[in-house]
């Protein structure tokens, strides 16, 4: 267990600020890139997460949002003819979401536009270490201290 003193609190504060700044820079860069192909970050994320037919609820889990929020994103993508709703093969109450051929093409454009890594100043090894450390920190934060 960590002893909380002023130095520990200052380190946590600085780490939080650095992670936030990296996130802000990444979001700004991503927003600029996806706008070039007429999408918002939420729409681009939905296209990337639609790796196969799935329900709106399944997509909402992948987007870490409520289904009602995912509806807004899917409605816009559907109006752009990038996503289509089809009857679910086993649940007549549900619809399955799928990328249209245009959606597959746009998703490919996303991959090209966003292939530059978030942390270009780091070696591949450093990026792997950072990813592993962030995953560990997230897992630790999800585990209650009882």
24-63 per-position pLDDT tens digit: 988 888 899 899 899 999 999 999 999 899 999 999 999 9
DSSP state at residue 54: B
66 and 133 part of one domain: no
91 and 138 part of one domain: no
The predicted model scores a pTM of: 0.76
Closest by CA position to 54, among listed 80, 82, 88, 104: 88
Contact (Cβ atoms closer than 8 angstroms) between residue 96 and residue 55: yes
Question: In the prediction, which pLDDT does 60 show?
Answer: 95
121 and 110 part of one domain: no
Can you give the CATH number for the domain in which 15 is found? 1.10.10.10
55 and 26 part of one domain: yes
> 2-31 burial, b for 16+ CB within 10 Å, e for fewer?
eeeeeeeeeeeeeeeeeeeeeeeeeeeebe
pLDDT at 146 over 70: no
108-140 per-position pLDDT tens digit: 898 887 777 667 788 889 989 988 998 998 888
Note down the domain range covering 146.
117-146
Give the three-state DSSP class for 89.
Answer: coil
pLDDT > 70: percent of the chain: 93
Domain count for the chain, please give it: 2
Tokens 């192909």, located at residue: 37
61 and 43 part of one domain: yes
pLDDT at 4 over 80: no
């Amino acid at each position: 267990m960590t002893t909380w003193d002023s130095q520990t609190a200052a380190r946590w504060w600085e780490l939080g600020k650095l992670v936030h700044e990296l996130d802000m820079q990444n979001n700004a860069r991503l927003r600029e890139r996806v706008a070039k192909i007429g999408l918002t970050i939420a729409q681009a994320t939905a296209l990337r997460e639609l790796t196969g037919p799935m329900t709106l609820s399944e997509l909402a889990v992948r987007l870490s949002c409520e289904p009602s929020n995912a509806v807004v994103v899917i409605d816009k993508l559907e109006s752009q003819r990038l996503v289509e709703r089809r009857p679910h093969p086993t649940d007549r109450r549900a619809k399955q979401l799928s990328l249209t051929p245009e959606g597959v093409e746009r998703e490919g454009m996303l991959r090209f536009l966003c292939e530059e890594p978030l942390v270009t100043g780091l070696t591949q090894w450093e990026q792997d270490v950072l990813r592993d450390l962030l995953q560990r920190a997230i897992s630790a934060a999800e585990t209650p201290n009882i």
